[in-house]
Amino acid sequence: MNDKLSRRTFLRSGLAITATNLLASPLNLNAAVCPPVVEKTMAKFKPDYIITEMKKNVVLAWGAPNTPLAEYIPGENRSMEHVLYIDGEVGPGTFYSECLWFFPQSMVSPKATKAAADMMEKLKPGVKIGPQPHMHPFDELFTFFGSNFDDPSDLCGEMEFFLEDQPVTFDKSCMVYIPAGMKHCPLNMKRMDKPLFHFSMGFTSTYAHSVLGDKSGKYAGEKNIRKYFVFGDKAGRKTPAFRKNIPGAFITRITHLDSEVVKGSSFHAETSWIWPEERSGLKGKDVSFVDKHTHPFPEIIAFFGTDFGDIHKLHGEVELWVEGKQYKISKSFVAIIPEGVEHGPLKVRNVQKPIFHYNVGHAGMYS
């Protein structure tokens, strides 16, 4: 599939790209944009903020109208499978994020391919599936990561993504910082060889957007649109004393974003792959990431497994302490840590398959 494919072709083949942000809460595409409600503080951490279960009855903003996303069935992969969907309805103070896998056609079940084709046949004339050029009233972090474990920088595919009507084609794992008001989309997947992991998020409780069509966004005329893309780690980065020195055989860093890497970024974000015991040589050992600490900003800590027969299985264990209480987690998860809440230590053990890990803070720089 070297040529750009249409949305209809994607859906018929089972390669449905129903989002650039793959986004959604139950939101009508024609609805007016609601101001974002940013809930930065919470009185007390709750176990609810360690999220391991997919939200029920999610209607994707760019999917079939008024059609809740069907529940995930292990072993019957669709072209796009959400692991988690988070918004303000999930719990007090939670914010918008989607975490999902894209699968190449060779890994999509025949049942899912037929269901996608049937859905397309039932669409009313004029109904568009997939993200239209749009913008948000909040800053967004938008990412893609390939699953080539011999070369984590490899996207395992090729994509074309538009910012302010300017196309950027890339084949490397990356993060994209999209400021509020920046027009983005369409997203064209030109090639996909292996599964791709995607997460997008904004520090807002409700996903909201304005469809722009031929209209320009706030950043129209930006000459260097590629500066919003981050393809690698940050050279010479400094870390605070509470962070541990993790053995290189255990972890490989992929990308790093902060306000020095992309000027004006409201996110600090780091991504990495954690390797199984067979590869790292650390069988039976705990690997410590951080000691206990706090931040002056809310933070997401996330771990996602790579069992493509059941994407909720972590095939490892994360031990996370929050406010002096221990949590042991063996499923793919996102932990939402409010600002000022003490957390750590954090340890990882018994890793049997590669694990994708990221942390994102609502601040330009990590502290």
Query: What percentage of the chain carries pLDDT values higher than 70?
Result: 88
Find, among 303, 323, 300, the residue nearest to 313 by Cα. 303
pLDDT given for residue 160 in this prediction:
97
pLDDT given for residue 123 in this prediction:
85
Amino acid in the structure at residue 150: D
pLDDT tens, 43-55? 477 888 999 999 9
Query: What percentage of the chain carries pLDDT values higher than 90?
Result: 78
Q: Which helix (DSSP H) or strand (DSSP E) does residue 197 occupy? A: strand 196-202
pLDDT band of 131, cuts 50, 70, 90: confident
Q: Work out the number of other CB atoms within 10 angstroms of the CB of residue 261.
A: 21
Q: Is the pLDDT of residue 231 over 50?
A: yes
pLDDT band of 31, cuts 50, 70, 90: very low
pLDDT band of 21, cuts 50, 70, 90: very low
pLDDT tens, 273-308? 999 999 999 999 999 999 999 999 999 999 999 999
Mean pLDDT value of segment 237-257: 96
Compute, in degrees rounded to 10, the torsion defined by CA atoms 81, 87, 91, 94. 110
Answer with the residue of higher pLDDT: 131 or 158: 158
- Provide the whole-model pTM: 0.88
- What span, in angstroms and rounded, lies between the C-alpha atoms of 40 and 38? 6
Mean pLDDT value of segment 245-266: 97
Q: Is the pLDDT of residue 97 over 70?
A: yes
- Collapsing DSSP states into helix, strand and coil, what is residue 48? helix
Mean pLDDT value of segment 48-74: 92
pLDDT band of 28, cuts 50, 70, 90: very low
Mean pLDDT value of segment 166-170: 97
CB 4 within 8 A of CB 160: yes
Q: Is the pLDDT of residue 58 over 50?
A: yes
What is the average pLDDT score of the chain? Answer: 88
Q: How far, rounded to the nearest angstrom, does the alpha carbon of residue 308 sit from its chain's CA centroid? A: 17
pLDDT tens, 316-335? 999 999 999 999 999 999 99
pLDDT band of 19, cuts 50, 70, 90: very low
Mean pLDDT value of segment 146-161: 98
pLDDT given for residue 2 in this prediction:
37
